[in-house]
Amino acid sequence: MTLSQRTVLIIVSTFIALLFIVAATSDVILLKSFASLEHSVLGGNVQKVRNEIDETYDELMASAKDVSAEIEHNGPGYVASLDISPFLNHRIDIIACFSASGMLQAAKAYDFHKRTPRKLPAHEISLLAAAIPLSAKGANGLLEGVFMVGSKPLQIVVRPISSTGSLILIGRYLDEEEVKRVSSLTRFHLDLIPVDQSAPDAETAAALAAFDRGETAPSHPIDSNSIAGYSLIKDIFGNSAVLVRVTDQRLLYTQGKAAIMYVLSAIFLTGCAFCGVMLFFIRGTILSRLDSLNSKVADITEQRDISARLPLSSHQDELHDLAVSINVMLESLESAEGELREGDERYRMLFERAPDAIIVIGMEGEEAGRIMAANQAAADQHGYSIEELCGLTIFDLNTEETNRTAGSIFERIAAGEWVTTEVWHRKKDGTNFPIEVHAGMIKIKGRNYVLGFDRDISVRKIAEESDRMYLDRIKQLNSELNQKALDLAAANSELEAFNYSVSHDMRGPLTRISGYCQILLEDGMVSDQNVTTYITRIYESGNWLSEMIDAMMQLAQLARVEFAPETVDLSETARNVVKELTLTDPDRKAACTIPEGISASGDSRLLKILMTNLLNNAWKYSSHSTDTRIEFGVMQQEAETVYYVRDNGAGFDMKDAGKLFRVFTRLHDQSQFSGTGIGLATVQRIVTRHGGHIWAEGETGKGAVFYFTLQPKPTPEGQFT
């Protein structure tokens, strides 16, 4: 099939498909819309009929009001004396007066259509009496509704007579004459169908089922020209009594179908004209040019002349762009062919001059195992020339051990796997050497070959052997180091036990010496002033040594205490320490600056000891200042949070800064500032346990600043050191 034929087929089939879709859509959507509109209009007509029927109650209620007024003046006997004129004037069939208990007091009945009196049967009177108790449930004792007298629906109203306590009941039958009257008023064909019939027809059953589903105004097409709408009248007891059927002509639906046919006919005629114009246009402006372009491309393909170019037309359209694209493609093919030749030369040069050995091995038929190609590196590696190497098989180069595993390697390659392994080859002079092989299957002109890259790994093997020896030595050194660590831990444990024992053994004699000295001083048993001075010095030295023992034990315990990190409010801790210092020396005035909200992550017990030692140190060494100033703060220094404690006390010489954190090292005389020389060493250990560092700056007589951090310093990569 030619392109022209296909174009015609596509246009015609597309038009037929669109016409079918429009027809189906119109039938489904438009007819459904007309049916919905028809249903809506019919529902309004049914409501008009129902309104006309319901207006009867207003007429009956007005008649009941007039009759009740007469009964109030004349008594229930007024009903028995009525002639036919009130029945004709008010178009009513029954007037009955009942007591509040439902006893009939008086009744009169006429068929006002036929103008004849009628006697009320006993069963009809009992039905009327059943409506009396229901009036008490209505508003103001009024009741209106329908109940069935046999197969005839009777519309009634009940109204109380206030002066006598009786009730007046007036009724009108919805008989054939009344139906005709409503039909003439509404101009709709009307039928009343009793619901209690034993075998309703299919139409009535369908309408009742629609009301049961909750529809308010169901409808049902009778035939193509008429449709029926329904309304349900319930009796005074709430039961379905009468089905009102309104029949109307299907004018909207018929007109809708005709309109759809007109639209489809217009679309068909317009589409036929459009298809003819489109076919003529496509044939004249596109298909003929495509045919010419196709013949020229066929000539280029037949001659295999990619240097030829298509002539370009003056039309600036898609076919012109197509010819330009074909010319660009021919230029690309010509350029690609040149690049392919260059690439072939380049890859051949790469193959021949590659530093690693490259070997191509046959896999099929007589070529299986033969070396089909090799580069100069492969020849030099094995001690052959390229021609000699291509006359051998791979099994000639393998050692006996390698040949035993060669079969499994070839099977893995044949399965499509690229294999990397270490094997042994034999050189031309008979020496063996290890190589690392990376090989896989390639396809050349439909035949399978193995492409292998070989690298001599003799030097690496020697290095690996050396590394193995070094690793053995490292393992031995690690073992010795672990043993020394265990020995050191045991020594530390023994030293700790010794420290604890010595501290406790010394505490007893010191306590006794201090106690005896205190007794001698307090009782005045020594009269010699020199002896008193000596005893005082002994007492003070004992106390100092006791403090030293406590500080040593606290310093030793810092390494054993369990580290429990949490967020600690350092500002609150500092304020509590200063408060305790102020209580111990209430006469001393000092300006302490502690900002709010300084917090850190760490062990709360250790950080309290740290802040206590630093603030005690500042408090002690600024005691000789007349205007003591102590400051605790925080600052950022190169992405690191630095805390500090500053004072304006005695300070120190910066050349002695390295001695500050040594145990038992003091830069000031004991007579100037008391202390054990362990506080700052304790601070350094706490800072170290938190991963931070501490340093100090000072000047003699101008105070000192102690800086510390509580976490490792971040590296430029965001990690911590």
> What's the per-residue H, E or C state across 44-83?
HHHHHHHHHHHHHHHHHHHHHHHHHHHHHHHCCHHHHCCC
pTM of this prediction exceeds 0.85? no
pLDDT tens per residue, range 515-551: 767 777 777 666 677 777 777 777 666 666 666 666 6
**What pLDDT was estimated at residue 95?**
92
**What pLDDT was estimated at residue 479?**
84
Is residue 632 predicted with pLDDT exceeding 90?
Answer: yes
- Reduced to 3 states, what is the DSSP secondary structure of residue 149? strand
Mean pLDDT of 114-129: 87
Is residue 717 predicted with pLDDT exceeding 50?
Answer: no
Is residue 664 predicted with pLDDT exceeding 60?
Answer: no
**Model confidence at 708, in pLDDT bands (50, 70, 90)?**
very high
Find all residues with CB under 8 Å of 139, minimum gap 6, and list them. none
Mean pLDDT of 677-703: 84
Higher pLDDT, 648 or 321: 648
Q: Of 60-64, 517-521, 619-623, 715-719, where does the model show the most confidence?
A: 60-64
**What pLDDT was estimated at residue 646?**
92
**What pLDDT was estimated at residue 5?**
63
**What pLDDT was estimated at residue 157?**
92
Residue 444 CA, chain-centre distance (Å), reads 52
**Model confidence at 560, in pLDDT bands (50, 70, 90)?**
low
**Model confidence at 663, in pLDDT bands (50, 70, 90)?**
low
Do residues 201 and 85 lie in contact, with contact meaning Cβ atoms separated by under 8 Å? no
**For residues 120 and 80, what is the distance between their CA atoms, to the nearest angstrom?**
12
**Model confidence at 645, in pLDDT bands (50, 70, 90)?**
very high
**For residues 421 and 410, what is the distance between their CA atoms, to the nearest angstrom?**
12
Tokens of 434: 């290890």
Higher pLDDT, 73 or 676: 73
Mean pLDDT of 690-718: 80
- Reduced to 3 states, what is the DSSP secondary structure of residue 144? strand
**For residues 399 and 383, what is the distance between their CA atoms, to the nearest angstrom?**
15
Mean pLDDT of 58-80: 87
Mean pLDDT of 610-637: 86
**Model confidence at 562, in pLDDT bands (50, 70, 90)?**
low
Phi and psi for 603 in degrees, rounded to 5?
-80, 125
Is residue 590 predicted with pLDDT exceeding 50?
Answer: yes
**For residues 143 and 61, what is the distance between their CA atoms, to the nearest angstrom?**
9
Mean pLDDT of 227-243: 87
Strand (E) positions, 87-173? 94-98, 104-111, 116-118, 143-149, 152-160, 167-173
**Model confidence at 23, in pLDDT bands (50, 70, 90)?**
low
pLDDT tens per residue, range 411-451: 888 888 898 888 999 998 888 989 889 999 988 888 889 88
**Model confidence at 707, in pLDDT bands (50, 70, 90)?**
very high
Is residue 718 predicted with pLDDT exceeding 50?
Answer: no
Closest CA to 147 of 59, 242, 244, 47: 242
Instruction: Give CA angle at 128 (123, 132), nearest 5°.
Output: 140
Mean pLDDT of 219-243: 85
**Model confidence at 136, in pLDDT bands (50, 70, 90)?**
confident
Mean pLDDT taken over the chain: 80
**What pLDDT was estimated at residue 720?**
43
Mean pLDDT of 460-484: 83
The DSSP bridge partners found for residue 359 are 374, 452
**What pLDDT was estimated at residue 719?**
45
**What pLDDT was estimated at residue 571?**
92
Is residue 618 predicted with pLDDT exceeding 50?
Answer: yes
**Model confidence at 705, in pLDDT bands (50, 70, 90)?**
very high
Higher pLDDT, 308 or 64: 64
Is residue 332 predicted with pLDDT exceeding 90?
Answer: no
**Model confidence at 458, in pLDDT bands (50, 70, 90)?**
confident
Mean pLDDT of 585-590: 80
- Long-range contacts for 279-283 (Cβ within 8 Å, ≥24 apart)? 279/7, 279/8, 279/11, 282/7, 282/11, 283/4
**Model confidence at 461, in pLDDT bands (50, 70, 90)?**
confident
Strand (E) positions, 175-293? 189-194, 219-221, 226-234, 240-249
pLDDT tens per residue, range 269-304: 887 777 777 777 766 666 666 777 777 777 777 777
**For residues 219 and 231, what is the distance between their CA atoms, to the nearest angstrom?**
9
- Which position has the token pair 């809506």? 40
Is residue 662 predicted with pLDDT exceeding 80?
Answer: no
